[in-house]
Amino acid sequence: MQIAEPIFWLVPVSSVLALFFAWLFFRGMMRASEGTERMKEIAEYVRRGAMSYLRQQYKIVLIAFVVLAIFFTILAYGFHVQNEWVPFAFLTGGAFSALAGYIGMRTATYASARTANAARNSLNQGLKVAFRSGAVMGLVVVGLGLLDISIWYVVLNHFMEGATASDKLIAITTTMLTFGMGASTQALFARVGGGIYTKAADVGADLVGKVEAGIPEDDPRNPATIADNVGDNVGDVAGMGADLYESYCGSILATAALGASAFAANETMQFKAVIAPMIIAAVGIILSIIGIFTVRTKENATMRQLLGSLNFGINLSAILIVVATFVILYALGLEGWLNISCSVVVGLLVGIVIGKSTEYYTSHSYKPTQRVSESAQMGHATVIISGTGLGMISTAIPVIAVVVGITFSYLFASGFNFSNFGMGLYGIGIAAVGMLSTLGITLATDAYGPIADNAGGNAEMSGLEPEVRKRTDSLDALGNTTAATGKGFAIGSAALTALALLASYIEEIKIGMIRLIENGSSITTLREGLSVDLEAVKNATIPTFMDWFAVNLMNYKVLVGVFIGAMLAFLFTGLTMNAVGRAAQKMVEEVRRQFHEIKGILEGKGTPDYVRCVQISTGAAQREMVFPSALAILVPIITGIVFGVAGVMGLLIGGLGAGFVLAVFMANAGGAWDNAKKYIEEGHFGGKGSDAHKASVTGDTVGDPFKDTSGPSLNILIKLMSMVSIVMAGLTVAFSVL
Amino acid sequence: MQIAEPIFWLVPVSSVLALFFAWLFFRGMMRASEGTERMKEIAEYVRRGAMSYLRQQYKIVLIAFVVLAIFFTILAYGFHVQNEWVPFAFLTGGAFSALAGYIGMRTATYASARTANAARNSLNQGLKVAFRSGAVMGLVVVGLGLLDISIWYVVLNHFMEGATASDKLIAITTTMLTFGMGASTQALFARVGGGIYTKAADVGADLVGKVEAGIPEDDPRNPATIADNVGDNVGDVAGMGADLYESYCGSILATAALGASAFAANETMQFKAVIAPMIIAAVGIILSIIGIFTVRTKENATMRQLLGSLNFGINLSAILIVVATFVILYALGLEGWLNISCSVVVGLLVGIVIGKSTEYYTSHSYKPTQRVSESAQMGHATVIISGTGLGMISTAIPVIAVVVGITFSYLFASGFNFSNFGMGLYGIGIAAVGMLSTLGITLATDAYGPIADNAGGNAEMSGLEPEVRKRTDSLDALGNTTAATGKGFAIGSAALTALALLASYIEEIKIGMIRLIENGSSITTLREGLSVDLEAVKNATIPTFMDWFAVNLMNYKVLVGVFIGAMLAFLFTGLTMNAVGRAAQKMVEEVRRQFHEIKGILEGKGTPDYVRCVQISTGAAQREMVFPSALAILVPIITGIVFGVAGVMGLLIGGLGAGFVLAVFMANAGGAWDNAKKYIEEGHFGGKGSDAHKASVTGDTVGDPFKDTSGPSLNILIKLMSMVSIVMAGLTVAFSVL
């Protein structure tokens, strides 16, 4: 009945539109030539390596999914502490995310040689091929995400029942929210595994190639160079895509659930509040496509002009979505549309501030990174100290942005009435949706980076003319800048999404309690002193739940949870750091072995065994990703079993607070070290080959796992903890030790 | 009337006893000879440098104290939002802490040459001089701390009034709690300033001396070597002392306030609960003195035997305090004495587990640090990556220890009744007191370290015979081990103290509300929807306060507070890291200048300008400590003004969670790098002078500010935030923007 509202159909339509344009861009790219035989050969190596990695990874992911699906089935059908739809939804969420990763990465590996080849004609053509190939990833992620949401919405609307239309909508949205678990789990493996792979290869290649043998980056004589290029695809394309797929779906679903709860008193408004985030996302897709078409540059463009052309597309989409939001919510007739639109704008602004702050702290056009370069003159240790200091100081602005964003998105949506918890939290959710609404184009600029990087690698290894290499270098340099801001955006959106998920956690607790009572359990057994009936649960407000479970800061369980959450962020990061260290060591040994055993390899006469290096990275990444990933899933479950709802909420906020700050620190320190090295290579403080340069290479190498493995993995951790808790809410309500 | 209970007088008596034995040990040490003229000369340089630093530091501290005292006076007498005793108590807290630092450091600077000279006779005599001089610091800290508490208790008991005896005791304890602010502020400057000083000198001396000029540590030809030795005294003696003085007083005062509230219904029990932590501390002093007297070793003792003799004293005191606690609380007739005694034991156990875990992760007798050494073979970058990984992973055990400690100290004291908030929180407080009860001897082993270190420096610079140097090296190596465990202990006690302070925060809020209502303000104006009268406030339980101020995890102000707290820990750390970097750079330039300009300096013919280096470190530390210190005081105040009680509590728990984990990470990573270098110097992986050794020196240099500046400063931050919030509670209640 509700679904009959025609505007809802804009959601599936625009998701199909996104997939259509993705296909169009893909076809256009495939029609371009891959260039010379040598270029094809190199591209084929990288493609095969990337695909073989993805196959391996998906095998392990499949095992994890089967185990978890069985576990969820037992909880749902055996103990009735979980929704019956969860196991299926979990699987589709994972499958769609995996498919998006597959398509995006396949596209990227086809695009690199074609970008290099197009760059032989002109810079503009190179940019167009690379960027439109990146757009395939962007559009596939938002298209598949919104498609998954649409399908489940229609299916559940058909099958689910409720005492009232309002109850039904609450049931649908809280059920849909649990779908995110599939996307989260797949993202976890993609980020952790991909992150370990890419940096094991990169660090390994650099340590022996650049430092010991003194050959340049991407030199075909280095056996690890193909693995390094593969790594860009599996880490920066597939990993980043899965990460943002999760944020995108998670923020929309959490906001829908918060909307269903906040507007429960008015059926019509409730439906509007539920579809509002989906409609904003749908319109965002259309605006992203428009933005993508505007990205072009003239020949001989400077770095600033290249960046300007990308920014023009992104800014255009962002400005249009602001206008569109006010129009959509007004036309939808959503109560408080003006205020809620302001919350959306707040979300967009937070994204922009975090992006700009990342640029300031990591670009060598600004003082902070230049000071890191300067400190390299004193040696290896001082470059590490100053980069660490910079990274830690750089957490201030993003946190202030998030704090101001939370405050104003809450206050706007609640009509500046603090006690209006429901509306305020809906405001925080929709701010996250606003930030991610133009993901189609922002992710395109992210995925563009590794494609340009690989194009440069291909040009180098194929020995193309210097002019072409100069063009691919321009494209690559642009990619480094967009990668840094993209990382800031990924972290910022992860934080807002995690907040939205945290806010909707109580909705799941409510549903879990209702299910338990309906199945004949008495809530009295849950926690000493808590005796409630069905009516009480249904009518309970958010502060009532807080009181029932004593989710306050004088409850030792909350304090304990906060400590565990903060610790988990560090432990998880330490484990991934060490994983990169161990994997890189294996790579170093292999490269040294090949330099030693394969004759004429350094003179360019012997052929390095690229495949062996790819296998080493693949194997190491698969082995190393299991323990940290298992920890990320198990700790929230165990905390819930031992410390109950209060402990879980403490864990989530502790993990989110510490994890977000730690992620920003690691991303910015890593980015600054990278660019501090480039600044020296541009001729400052002694330039290439100087002692300062050597020290800056140390900084860059340390920064690699900071910014590309551990930092990004934390994005997933903070969202996944919330997702696991949401899915496990029923179990936590039904049973906890303390 | 209450004070008439004779057992209370044990508290001032044992504090005087502590001071008496401190004087005895000091006199004994002063009677020993300082050795040769050269030894006296070196010692005089260090002593003068240290004292001139302390004078400078206390000048700035005095300015800060005057400003804050005026501010508190205005709040107390102008706006009546603060207790009238605060300004005075604040000043005495600071003065006693400063006095303890002065005496301890003066003792240490007199003791170093005497230790070296005693080591010329025998190892046992060297140990005795160094350890008993360290004991001066330990006993002065606990003696002055408990004396300050006793005096104020007697004074307030005389002057304060209350409607009932119970009200009076609550008023006294909550007033006394604010005294900690003085100790906190003085500790902040001592730790931050001392930390910057010591590492600027150390890093500067190492970078030019060891790395560039290739001369050994403590070589008299290095102009920064005196500054380096001064640094050990101002950082590790005065800084550590002020840190633990704060923890010691803070934990006793917070527990007294929690006891007054938890036992408010029964006057007799209430008094017993208030003096129980003081009595435990008083008995702890006597047991510490006994423990100190047992520390001795035989000649030619191995490292293990030396450590054994120190541990014997510490363990003896710890075991005796466990027994004594049961006896004291039983004899006192405190309700629930058995359970509360168990909470005390829990606190002691947490301290031991954290100490052992620190040893495991930072000693090169164990795998983790050995693996860091191993990774040094691959270069500078991998040693940083593996140390960072180790440090982050090493946070797990301490956090689990704290989590288990919180849980059981709460559950024991509350009689396993979760809803008994008051008693449970009293349990957490008294666990902190238990951990710190034998501080007299544990701090003695801490202060022993830098004395032995300086003795080694003195022996080296005075050119004493190799045999003596071997003995001082043994003493120094022992000092490194005790320093690492001491750091773990300092962090662990800071965390438990901060928790106790956090738990007692609501007591201050309660008192603040009562004061406000009594002064005619209406609480209705405070926060929309909150309308309470005096009776309601007096009868309110902890969950009621949580409800009134919505201190729950769905309140956006709490979430915002957590983010700010976590960020503040990182920002503060980043600022201190950069401060060390900048100060070290100045030192490097000065040492290079002297090597260049002073003729024959490297041949040992020219005399280096030691004083100039001391001045540089002093000036840099003074300049650099101001901004981070101001931030640590201002952020909690501003958060309170903007986000109110809920925001402040979020800030405290966010800062505590992230700050504690970050502090453990920094201390352990730094300790591991230090010992990884030593492990290589013992001949592993190529030994001294190898590339692996060079890489390990980089790790050690990075680790210096980690473990000796930023990490320890975080101890203060997490306690100070609570202290500031406690003192500002009245203002926060009376006024907040949102």
pLDDT in tens, B571-618: 999 999 999 999 998 998 899 899 888 888 888 888 889 889 999 999
Residues of A in contact with B396 (CB under 8 A): 567, 571
Instruction: Give chain B's length.
Output: 738
> Are A548 and A524 in contact, with CB atoms under 8 Å apart?
no
CA of A512 vs chain B CAs: smallest distance (Å): 18
pLDDT average, residue stretch A697-723:
94
> Dihedral through CA A163, CA A169, CA A174, CA A179, nearest 10?
120
CA of A587 vs chain B CAs: smallest distance (Å): 12
CB–CB contact B418 A562 (8 Å): no
pLDDT tens-place string over residues B638-655: 999 999 999 999 999 999
Q: What is the pLDDT of residue B208?
A: 83
Q: What is the pLDDT of residue A1?
A: 44
CB–CB contact A407 B661 (8 Å): no
Q: What is the pLDDT of residue A3?
A: 53
pLDDT average, residue stretch B76-102:
90
CA of A460 vs chain B CAs: smallest distance (Å): 26
Mutate to test the interface with A, among B203, B390, B392 (most CBs of A within 10 A): B392
- Specify the pTM: 0.96
> Quick one: tokens of B148?
């300050």
Element (H, E) at A708: none
- Three-class SS state of A32: coil
Dist. CA B540–CA A597, nearest whole Å: 79
Residues of A in contact with B542 (CB under 8 A): 554
CB–CB contact A424 B546 (8 Å): no
pLDDT average, residue stretch A316-338:
94
Residues of B in contact with A661 (CB under 8 A): 563, 566-567, 569-570, 658
CA of A242 vs chain B CAs: smallest distance (Å): 25
pLDDT tens-place string over residues A20-67: 999 999 999 999 999 999 999 999 999 999 998 999 899 999 999 999
Q: Is residue B221 very low, low, confident or very high in pLDDT (cuts 50, 70, 90)?
A: confident
* Nearest residue in chain B measured CA to CA from A562: B657
Element (H, E) at B370: helix B367-375
CB–CB contact A385 B207 (8 Å): no
* Nearest residue in chain B measured CA to CA from A642: B407
Q: What is the pLDDT of residue B480?
A: 78
CB–CB contact B567 A395 (8 Å): yes
* Nearest residue in chain B measured CA to CA from A557: B407
pLDDT average, residue stretch B701-730:
94
Q: Is residue B690 very low, low, confident or very high in pLDDT (cuts 50, 70, 90)?
A: very high
Q: Which of B380, B400, B573 sits opposite A380 (nearest CB)?
A: B380
pLDDT average, residue stretch B452-457:
91
Which of B210-214, B314-318, B649-653 is most confident?
B649-653
Cβ neighbours for A365, distance < 8 A, ≥ 6 positions apart:
none
Q: What is the pLDDT of residue B163?
A: 81
Residues of B in contact with A390 (CB under 8 A): 574, 578
CB–CB contact A207 B381 (8 Å): yes
* Nearest residue in chain A measured CA to CA from B665: A570
> Quick one: tokens of B150?
């006793």
pLDDT average, residue stretch A107-124:
93
CB–CB contact A661 B738 (8 Å): no
Mutate to test the interface with B, among A394, A551, A562 (most CBs of B within 10 A): A562
> Are B588 and A378 in contact, with CB atoms under 8 Å apart?
yes
Q: Is residue A522 very low, low, confident or very high in pLDDT (cuts 50, 70, 90)?
A: low
* Nearest residue in chain A measured CA to CA from B571: A393
Q: Which of B503, B564, B575 sits opposite A403 (nearest CB)?
A: B564
Share of chain A above pLDDT 70, in %: 98
Share of chain A above pLDDT 90, in %: 66
Q: What is the pLDDT of residue B404?
A: 97
Residues of A in contact with B580 (CB under 8 A): 385
CB–CB contact B702 A385 (8 Å): yes
CB–CB contact B574 A391 (8 Å): yes
CB–CB contact B382 A570 (8 Å): no
pLDDT average, residue stretch B85-101:
92
CB–CB contact B389 A563 (8 Å): no
Q: Which of B390, B528, B658 sits opposite A418 (nearest CB)?
A: B528
Q: Is the pLDDT of residue B300 over 80?
A: no
Other beta carbons less than 10 A from residue A308's beta carbon: 13
Q: Which of A378, A389, A506 sits opposite B578 (nearest CB)?
A: A389
Q: Is residue B98 very low, low, confident or very high in pLDDT (cuts 50, 70, 90)?
A: very high
CA of B166 vs chain A CAs: smallest distance (Å): 23
- Tally C-beta pairs within 8 A across A and B: 297
Structure-model confidence comparison of residues B392 and B81, the more confident one = B392
Residue type for position B509: I
> Are B389 and A578 in contact, with CB atoms under 8 Å apart?
yes
pLDDT average, residue stretch B226-249:
91
CA of A394 vs chain B CAs: smallest distance (Å): 8
Q: Which of A384, A388, A421 sits opposite B554 (nearest CB)?
A: A421
> Quick one: tokens of B213?
């000029």
Q: Is the pLDDT of residue B527 over 70?
A: no
Q: Is the pLDDT of residue A529 over 70?
A: no
Q: What is the pLDDT of residue B523?
A: 53
Q: Which of B378, B571, B738 sits opposite A393 (nearest CB)?
A: B571
Q: What is the mean pLDDT of chain B?
A: 91
Give bridge partners of residue A552 from the DSSP assignment: B552
Residue type for position B197: Y
Cβ neighbours for B422, distance < 8 A, ≥ 6 positions apart:
B258, B261, B262, B263, B541, B542
CA of A483 vs chain B CAs: smallest distance (Å): 22
CA of A571 vs chain B CAs: smallest distance (Å): 5
Q: What is the pLDDT of residue B524?
A: 46
CA of A606 vs chain B CAs: smallest distance (Å): 25
Q: What is the pLDDT of residue A524?
A: 46
Q: Is the pLDDT of residue B1 over 50?
A: no
CB–CB contact B384 A385 (8 Å): no
Q: Which of B390, B421, B581 sits opposite A554 (nearest CB)?
A: B421
Q: Is the pLDDT of residue A152 over 60?
A: yes
Residues of B in contact with A554 (CB under 8 A): 421, 425, 503, 506, 542-543, 545-546, 551
CA distances for A526 relative to A195, A548, A552, B187, angstroms? 41, 11, 18, 45
Residue type for position A128: K
Residues of B in contact with A548 (CB under 8 A): none
Q: Is the pLDDT of residue A219 over 90?
A: no
Q: Which of A410, A506, A656 sits opposite B556 (nearest CB)?
A: A410
Q: Which of A480-489, B281-290, B444-453 has the lowest mean pLDDT?
A: A480-489
> Dihedral through CA A612, CA A617, CA A620, CA A623, nearest 10?
-110
> What Rg do the C-alpha atoms of chain B give, in angstroms?
25
Residues of B in contact with A578 (CB under 8 A): 385-386, 389-390, 393
Mutate to test the interface with B, among A261, A377, A554, A707 (most CBs of B within 10 A): A554
Dist. CA B299–CA A473, nearest whole Å: 69
Q: What is the pLDDT of residue A737?
A: 76
| ipTM for the whole predicted complex goes beyond 0.90 | yes
- Three-class SS state of A652: helix
Instruction: Give chain A's length.
Output: 738
> Are B180 and B253 in contact, with CB atoms under 8 Å apart?
yes
Q: What is the pLDDT of residue A4?
A: 53
Residues of B in contact with A559 (CB under 8 A): 406, 499, 502, 653
Share of chain B above pLDDT 70, in %: 98
CB–CB contact B738 A407 (8 Å): yes
Q: What is the pLDDT of residue B521?
A: 67
Q: What is the pLDDT of residue B17?
A: 97
CB–CB contact B581 A389 (8 Å): yes
- Three-class SS state of B552: strand
pLDDT average, residue stretch A176-196:
91
Residues of B in contact with A634 (CB under 8 A): none
Q: Is residue A488 very low, low, confident or very high in pLDDT (cuts 50, 70, 90)?
A: confident
Q: Which of B386, B407, B566 sits opposite A578 (nearest CB)?
A: B386
Q: Which ranges constitute the DSSP H helices of B1-122?
A: 10-31, 37-73, 86-121
pLDDT tens-place string over residues B39-61: 999 999 999 999 989 998 999 99
Q: Is residue B160 very low, low, confident or very high in pLDDT (cuts 50, 70, 90)?
A: confident
CA of B598 vs chain A CAs: smallest distance (Å): 22
Share of chain B above pLDDT 90, in %: 66
